[in-house]
Each structure stands twice: as C-alpha cells, then as structure tokens.
Homo-oligomer: A and B are copies of this chain.
Amino acid sequence: MIHPIGIGLAGFGTVGGGVFKYLEQQRELLLERTGASFEICAVAVRDQRKQRDSMLPKSLLVDSWRDLLNDPRIQVIVELMGGTTDAFELIKGAIESGRAVVTGNKALLAERGEEIFALAKKHAVPIFYEAAVAGGIPIIQNLRDAFVGNRIKSIHGILNGTTNYILSRMEEEGLNYDEALSEATSRGYVEADPTLDLSGWDAGHKAIILAALAYGFWVRPEEIRVEGIEAITAADIGFAKKFGYSIKLLASIRDTADGVIEVGVSPTLIPKKSILASVSGSFNAIAVKGDLVGETLFYGRGAGCEPTTSSVIGDLVAAAHAFHVPQSQTLSSHLVGFTPHSLYGKSRPALEIISSYYLRLAVEDQPGVLATIATIFGEEGISISSLVQPESCGEGETPLVFMIHKARYGMMQAALEKVARLTCVKAKPVLLNVETF
C-alpha cells in the first residue's frame, strides 16, 4: 500500500532545487524502503520569472508562501527560504494548520526556536530540522533518538565548512588568511555574503540549536561568546603547530559540575593528535560525549546541495511516519522532534567561563616589555604556562606568544584591557581558547 505525502516547498535555491530533483531521482528507492510516495504539490518562490532548472514544471510555482498554507493537499511544509520573518510566519501557519514542518533555517531556530517549539507542542505538530546543523551529518537525530538514554557531557563541533577550509589551507599550505579566503571563494565555498560564516555566527546558531537539544532550553544569542577567524594569521597557525596544536573554529557546549551549561564558538587550539584535528577542508565533525556512550564522533559534509538534501529527505520520511501516527498516542520526543526537559536550565555568562588560552601580542622589540606584561598578568591572577618570543626580525616589533593556564574569560579581558593600553603593545591582542578534551 502506497502512502502519498503532499509537500509544499518554500524556497528553490541550492537545497530546495536538490530536494525537488532527488525526491524524483530516488522515488523508487524511497517507495521500496518506506512505502511512502512524496509528492511536491507546490513550490513558493520569490521571483517566478527567474531562470530555473527546466525540470520544475511552471504549474507547480506559486507566488507566495501563503499559498502553500491554503493548499489542502499539502501535509508537510519544507521551509528552505531562509530569513527570520516570512519563514517564521510560514512555520507558524503550518503548525497552526496541523502540518508537519521540515526546516533548514538555523538562524530562525537559534533566534525563535523557543517560541516555535512551544507552538508546535501546543498544536502537537512535529518539527524536523536536521538540515539546519552540519548539512549531511545526522546529528539532530543522533542526539534526539540514539543518545536519548544519555546525559550529554559535552559537544565539540567543527560546524562551518567555509572557515574550516580556510584554516586547513593555512595550516597545510602555509597560506595567509587572504590567500586562503580567495581560494575558498574560487572553489565556491564562500557565500555571496560571507559575514555569517567568517564571524562565527553560522556556527553560533548551530551551537545554540545543539545546546537546546542536549539540555532542553534555549540559550540567547546575545549571552554567548562568538568569535570568527578574521584575526587569525599564518603566524598563529605556526605557533600553534609548535605547541602541538591545530587551530579550528570550534563550537563548544558542555555541562559542568554544578549543572550549569557553557556554550560558545571561537577559534580554538586543539591537540594535533585528537581526531577532530584531522578534520580538514570543508568537512564538518561533531564530537559528542555522553555519560553512557562515552566518546563519539560524527563526520561528514557540512553543506552543499546533495548532503543537505539527504538530511531533508531523512526528515521527510520521519515526518511521514509522524503523520500517520494519531497525535494523542505518540510519545513526546517524536511529537515535536525535540526533547524538552527540565533537568538543566542555566547557562554560564561568557565572562564567567573558564578556559585555557593562547595569546599573541605584537610588542616593541626592547628590554623590559615582557616584565611589564607579566606583572599585569600577575596582578590579575593569570598564570602563564609557556611563552615563545622569537628572535627579533629587526623591524622594531616582535610577536610575543603566551600559553595561559585556566582562567575566567572576564579576568583575561580585564588583563588584556590593561595590556592593550601599554605603549609597547602595538596591535590588537589575539586571544584564542585552548581545549585538550
């Protein structure tokens, strides 16, 4: 017996086009495996006149996402239009009309996930969002279903392929930041507007979603420290290597002894021998530690048409299952694609989070500079674990690199403010986290 599933697709960009193409290409496979026949009933696009894949029949195109909500054949809304205003209204409308939702919109979930999932719970509608985090890697399903019996101790993720490609090329080929960025651009790894990727906020949104799933509540974007890779130089990559580390843009989410969770994204030194350090190019990877399962890692493509489409199709099959389940009889996690629970509920302010650090200063090449800086660190209670001061390059300015023992981020900030005011310190300090797992 064939179960037809009516789909309304909002957005026909890279992923939307992929969903259309591959639902058709894999039709026989999906029917054999699931018994479901996925039918795209309508596709909402912003501009109907735009040249598109010739396989998309004009008859499916509609002007507005609102039309999808008025189509009684549509049981599942696939939201791939992006943005946080119309997309929110569409998802809200879908929930209120009892339709299942599949979305890849990380910014929307990070900003308004609490509202959306509360609404979904009220209306007993499932929401699936595998495509929102790490493209083809099924991390949402694994955290929600496979690891349901675990308290999650930590999640460390390389969640942005663009920045990982840039950092990998800097490390492997000795490129500087601009060279690596332009190579990434020429290979199509950089969005028209690269701000979200390079600033760390693309990874930041994903970290908020993973934290919500693991710990059952939503951390506000403005509460977390998110830093990008723009300040990283070839020199930093070189010093890190000397200390036995790679630099990765790392999303870090963890439970602590007092039950408060810590969330942040920043360029981080991780040991060269760790498996995360071997994740290079545009790949993503997520290391999850659970109290029962122990150390795990999930690795794969973090973006791109086919991998992200794979996640959307997985969600569509899950939505199809959910759709056939009378709502009153489902258990909670399958109901909303989210595992709310009240066992956690506090996140630590960024300034209170303790980490080890790598610090690079550019200082005047003259005696006494190190003593002055070390004195400030001492006053602020910060202790240095090691130090590299390369021989002078004779230009009056020299790098001074510190590895710093565990300290609150706020203490580091206070010390750096004082250090930055010294006349012997020439440029903005570069402060990176160090993680040893």
Residues of A that sit less than 8 Å from B by CB: 3, 22, 26, 28-30, 32-36, 130, 136-138, 141-142, 145-151, 216, 275, 278-279, 283, 290-301, 304, 306-307, 309-311, 313-314, 316-318, 320-321, 324-326, 329-334, 339-343
The answer to whether B141 touches A310, judged by C-beta atoms less than 8 angstroms apart, is no
Assuming the A-B contacts A29-B341, A142-B142, A314-B147, are A3 and B331 also in contact, with contact meaning beta carbons closer than 8 angstroms in the complex?
yes
Dominant secondary structure of chain A at its interface with chain B: mixed
Q: Which residues in B have their C-beta under 8 angstroms from that of A326?
A: 326, 329
Q: Which residues in B have their C-beta under 8 angstroms from that of A320?
A: 331
Assuming the A-B contacts A34-B148, A148-B313, are A136 and B306 also in contact, with contact meaning beta carbons closer than 8 angstroms in the complex?
no
Copies of this chain, count: 2
Across the two chains, which residue of chain B brings its CB closest to A22? B292
Assuming the A-B contacts A3-B331, A297-B300, A321-B334, are A310 and B34 also in contact, with contact meaning beta carbons closer than 8 angstroms in the complex?
no
Assuming the A-B contacts A34-B332, A275-B299, A332-B33, are A28 and B343 also in contact, with contact meaning beta carbons closer than 8 angstroms in the complex?
yes
The answer to whether A329 touches B318, judged by C-beta atoms less than 8 angstroms apart, is no
Assuming the A-B contacts A29-B149, A297-B300, are A35 and B332 also in contact, with contact meaning beta carbons closer than 8 angstroms in the complex?
yes
Q: Which of B35, B294, B325, B329 contacts A301 (CB 8 A)?
A: B294
The answer to whether A146 touches B138, judged by C-beta atoms less than 8 angstroms apart, is yes
Interface pairs (10), CB distance under 8 Å: A28-B343, A30-B148, A141-B146, A147-B310, A275-B275, A293-B310, A297-B298, A298-B298, A321-B330, A324-B331
Across the two chains, which residue of chain B brings its CB closest to A148? B317
Cα distance A147–B146 when bound, in Å?
14
Q: Which residues in B have their C-beta under 8 angstroms from that of A216?
A: 32
Q: Which residues in B have their C-beta under 8 angstroms from that of A147?
A: 138, 310, 314
The answer to whether A301 touches B295, judged by C-beta atoms less than 8 angstroms apart, is yes
Assuming the A-B contacts A29-B149, A317-B145, are A307 and B294 also in contact, with contact meaning beta carbons closer than 8 angstroms in the complex?
yes
Q: Which residues in B have their C-beta under 8 angstroms from that of A342?
A: 32
The answer to whether A137 touches B296, judged by C-beta atoms less than 8 angstroms apart, is yes
Q: Which residues in B have their C-beta under 8 angstroms from that of A304?
A: 294
The answer to whether B317 touches A333, judged by C-beta atoms less than 8 angstroms apart, is yes
Known: A22-B292, A28-B343; 7 extra A-B contacts, CB below 8 A, are A33-B332, A148-B314, A148-B317, A149-B309, A292-B309, A294-B300, A298-B298
Cα distance A337–B325 when bound, in Å?
16
Across the two chains, which residue of chain B brings its CB closest to A330? B324
Cα distance A81–B378 when bound, in Å?
61
Minimum CB–CB distance for A128 against chain B, Å: 11
Q: Which of B331, B339, B343 contacts A321 (CB 8 A)?
A: B331
The answer to whether A317 touches B149, judged by C-beta atoms less than 8 angstroms apart, is yes
Q: Which residues in B have their C-beta under 8 angstroms from that of A306?
A: 291-294
Q: Which of B149, B296, B311 contacts A314 (CB 8 A)?
A: B149
Across the two chains, which residue of chain B brings its CB closest to A141? B146
Minimum CB–CB distance for A230 against chain B, Å: 28
